[in-house]
């Protein structure tokens, strides 16, 4: 981690997220706004790893539960900080109908499909580009 000054909180070190996942390299993006807020998000599962915000007195604190490395994000609890994706929750019996057509999803929660299935968005490497200080 690197320090954002002489006091807490520590800003995550982007170098700890630079490793390959399959054939794709990982990265941590640091987003900032003019109010002093910082959000650290990795392209692995579009997981938010850190949110630093000022309180009413201007004191900064980290208010997110996240990992300090890509290895932690990959091997830790899959849902921590994750972008859930196309749908949240369970699809009963991993089947649904849309416009009179039936679809089958992968069952990863007993007979049901939870949060995108076996290879849902929490496990995907996104192709991301940081376009400004406050957007990816």
Query: Residues for the chain: how many in total?
Result: 136
CB 40 within 8 A of CB 28: yes
Residue range 43-72, pLDDT digits in tens: 998 999 999 998 889 889 999 999 999 999
- How does DSSP classify residue 75? H
Class of domain 2-123: mainly beta
Q: What is the DSSP string of 21-47?
A: ETTEE--EEEEE-TTS-EEEEESBTT-
The chain-wide mean pLDDT, for the chain, equals: 88
pTM recorded for the entire structure: 0.79
Residue-range domain boundaries for the chain: 2-123
């Amino acid at each position: 981690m690197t320090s954002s000054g002489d006091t807490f909180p520590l800003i995550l070190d982007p170098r700890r997220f630079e490793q390959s996942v399959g054939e794709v390299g990982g990265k941590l993006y640091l987003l900032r706004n003019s109010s002093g807020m910082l959000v650290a998000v990795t392209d692995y599962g579009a997981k938010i790893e850190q949110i630093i915000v000022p309180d009413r007195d201007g004191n900064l604190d980290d208010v997110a539960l996240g990992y300090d490395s890509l290895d932690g994000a990959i091997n830790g609890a899959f849902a921590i900080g994750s972008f859930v994706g196309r749908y949240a929750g369970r699809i009963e019996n991993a089947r649904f109908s849309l416009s009179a057509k039936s679809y089958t999803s992968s069952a990863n929660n007993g007979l049901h499909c939870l949060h995108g299935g076996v290879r849902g968005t929490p496990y995907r490497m996104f192709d991301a580009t940081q376009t400004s200080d406050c957007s990816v």
